[in-house]
Structure 1
């Protein structure tokens, strides 16, 4: 049985129980056995295993079994933590000691304190290879934004089924995993008279402020069957951006008084949102460099993925016009430079949650992203990116590709010193893709500092175009040929149609 056939067949039985609920919903509900409430998920794979995530409705121990085939005749058992209300019933266990470059079948169940066990859910993932092999990765961002949540009339978030059909090894979620600041109404009437209908939930009735409201945003997304099936069989590499907390937030900031928040301190909101993120996402914060997010995922000799955090260390959006600025922070900048220099992988993907040259205003005098629309030498947050780009050139680091989302359209940007105001760098590509299930916007202007050229852009004709228009919901796919080492990037719409393709041969060192 092929991996794709297994994915489709086994995923049909991923959830057969009652509708899912966030922690605290359904008071008085008593079950005879623990329940896996929101499916299962795989994250941060290595050559010998991966992280397996799950959630229980009551205190229970997480148990994972792995095998080489769906018959589970050669089972290895891994006992995870006791899942308790302290972590909203969530937890993860790293399965390890498995063969490299292999399809792994896994199944998950819960063992209650009274001996009762849950149903079993199953999935698959592939361990990272240790020899050159074909690799496929999909990426995008932005889920349930601008008032567009799970629409039962269109089958929910079908883009996840479209991505699953491509049978990728990895999924890079580039941020805005939730829209904690976007409440959902039962219906949204579009400018052309069409109606978008939402499944609703208590946690989505207002912008999230409490820990349970942030948790409820993640729970809401995982009530979508397409999303849960995808999670069970595609290993994720996850990031965060602003909407995990609140729009355009930066450390030390304050939410505007007219946004309707009771708690307006952005640092307080961020602390709560980070806890919910780490509880509900398949990553282990202790494995990150800073104990939170930024980290390197090595996926064999052909690929290293450098996962950035361009949110927690940035300065205020109003400060992005000065001579110096911060978007990575000194420690993360040094880590990225050193990591790229030391990498022996053929391709180095920099997973950035913000694009480099796209101008994203925050009001009239501030800028949300790296670019600040100022001509001339790098200024503001561009100064840190300039350090990274110069170090790449100085250390002769080859085959660096940047992937990002954030701006709700898809584009291919080529950066060249021949067009730039700052010239101490080698030319490179940045590919943008999104949104997955949110309002579509763009395109935005480009800042000339690093000489970007929009080789391809696909954006909607009007701002906040709804996900009913699938051609303006986007994801990207990266394929690396195990024989030639060639990297191909396809920019796709939510139906799977390839809108643009770029082949990049590896450098000959």
Structure 2
């Protein structure tokens, strides 16, 4: 069976299941619904392809999408690659058979001191992606890794484990990135990020966009290549999402960043569909129909990110929120504010707040994740409690006049949810709260107020918002609404609309964000500059310019 006919068969099966099941948990009801969970053709099941393809027959380099690592623990890190000698074809140019892949981890990039090695299978059912979790590594140490299959050897990746849970860590450094619309420009910021000295990179959502990419790559305006027609459509099916990841991961700047640093990822909306909320899509598609799309998107996301086995999705469900410990210095609670949220109030744009948006039953995290977050804070012994997540947490009023509007897609559209989280942080005794955010295609620095309606209320934390890597094209340093926003939101300390990333440094005394931008992305080769730096002191929340 060809890849195309196989995917068509899966599509028919899951649509047949959805036609008979109309409620949220429909995938657990019948044997037919198991097809929606993509469980009937996964490794370890009777229907899975069991034969092995001879890797010696792979004639072209299969490591076209590079290597990656992620989710560091003190004794392990996830290693990732995908075999795809022809990445812009369905199936990547390989048959529907598993391929044996060898992996190595070493202290040195020439692999003279190999510390771990093994063999794993790249299953066709997972689009020949590989997720390896080598154990027994040393805490807080840099390692190098690579993969082999047949006569081919991948490029070398560099990664780093987290410090031991009880280690006294002097400082940590991280990159913050988000929103990389391929069709809006080059990923130049990633080339500079690859040269940074970082412990890890937090990707805060919108790793890809579901929108069509034309033959010249949109704003990239290629003159030396033509992209296949398969990209010039919106991603809806599993095949579409897989191909879109292939397009993004062939970008040399993104490949360089993944090879240089471990990534800790979370999604926002565009990895599936713009502004969806739980099982409610952007348009009028029935929820059961949308969950078929969500299952495809979540499956492709896990396949193409350096995520651990517990994050592997079950149909349209995927447990992405998780906790990482970096010694006694920092605890990271990575959130998912998309999968469990109530539908946006008054639509998903900017609206005047009212009874619908302020309803105390509304949630952006879901009750279970909210309890998990607050319970984790109660047990935390870390100096810094850091929350990497997707959408703006601090209040953003459109104007300082009556009738101001708020974004219904951000935490402003879920103020009761935000209040419960802030009350939970207060009851847990969190002194140094830092929220990390993407989504909005601009750099922001916020003080988090205990009561945003009272500018002189207590500052209980800070929020660092990173601009986009590419979304929004070149951007401008001072957006048109700059004066209005700065006046309406006195807790907003910094605002810049260019593309780039944030370099975050934590130590025992302060958390510091260096805001970096490039002057353009609609052509390659832009330089990088630090346009502002803001810090908050441990035990004394509130931003000051450095």
TM-score, normalization: structure 1? Answer: 0.78
Aligned partner of 2:130 among 91, 95, 117: 91
Shift of 1:202: 3.6
Whether 1:148 aligns to 2:184 is: yes
Instruction: Give the structure 2 partner of residue 212 of structure 1.
Output: 239
1:357 and 1:452 in contact (8 A); partners too: no
Secondary structure class of the residue paired with 2:425: helix
Taking the aligned partners of 1:353 and 1:414, their CA distance within structure 2 comes to: 17
Distance 1:287 1:217, change over 3 A: closer
Secondary structure class of the residue paired with 1:215: helix
Aligned partner of 2:410 among 369, 375, 399: 369
Instruction: Give the structure 1 partner of residue 216 of structure 2.
Output: 186
Shift of 1:93: 0.5
Whether 1:491 aligns to 2:524 is: no
Aligned partner of 1:337 among 371, 374, 383: 374
Taking the aligned partners of 1:99 and 1:187, their CA distance within structure 2 comes to: 43
Aligned partner of 1:55 among 71, 76, 82: 82
Instruction: Give the structure 2 partner of residue 153 of structure 1.
Output: none
More helix, by proportion: 2
Shift of 1:74: 2.8
Distance 1:360 1:273, change over 3 A: farther
Shift of 1:296: 0.8
Shift of 1:297: 1.4
**Number of equivalences:** 438
**Aligned ranges 1:208-287 → 2 under 5 Å:** 208-256=235-283, 265-286=289-310
Taking the aligned partners of 2:397 and 2:491, their CA distance within structure 1 comes to: 16
1:140 and 1:475 in contact (8 A); partners too: yes
Superposed CA RMSD = 3.3
Secondary structure class of the residue paired with 2:133: strand
**Aligned ranges 1:57-72 → 2 under 5 Å:** 57=84, 58=94, 59-72=98-111
1:251 and 1:267 in contact (8 A); partners too: no
Distance 1:120 1:63, change over 3 A: same
Instruction: Give the structure 2 partner of residue 473 of structure 1.
Output: 499
Taking the aligned partners of 2:455 and 2:340, their CA distance within structure 1 comes to: 24
Instruction: Give the structure 2 partner of residue 502 of structure 1.
Output: 534
Secondary structure class of the residue paired with 1:37: coil
Whether 1:301 aligns to 2:328 is: yes
Shift of 1:431: 1.1
Secondary structure class of the residue paired with 1:135: strand
Shift of 1:301: 1.9
Taking the aligned partners of 1:286 and 1:65, their CA distance within structure 2 comes to: 23
Taking the aligned partners of 2:302 and 2:229, their CA distance within structure 1 comes to: 21
Taking the aligned partners of 1:47 and 1:203, their CA distance within structure 2 comes to: 41
Taking the aligned partners of 2:407 and 2:81, their CA distance within structure 1 comes to: 40
Shift of 1:230: 1.2
TM-score, normalization: structure 2? Answer: 0.73
1:490 and 1:498 in contact (8 A); partners too: yes
Instruction: Give the structure 2 partner of residue 434 of structure 1.
Output: 467
Whether 1:407 aligns to 2:402 is: no
Secondary structure class of the residue paired with 1:229: helix
Taking the aligned partners of 1:209 and 1:226, their CA distance within structure 2 comes to: 26
Shift of 1:249: 1.0
Taking the aligned partners of 1:365 and 1:427, their CA distance within structure 2 comes to: 21
Taking the aligned partners of 2:454 and 2:228, their CA distance within structure 1 comes to: 49
1:389 and 1:425 in contact (8 A); partners too: no
Shift of 1:33: 7.2
Instruction: Give the structure 2 partner of residue 20 of structure 1.
Output: none
Which stretches in structure 1 are left out of the alignment for 5+ residues?
1-22, 25-29, 111-115, 150-155, 373-380, 460-471
Shift of 1:182: 4.2
Shift of 1:117: 4.1
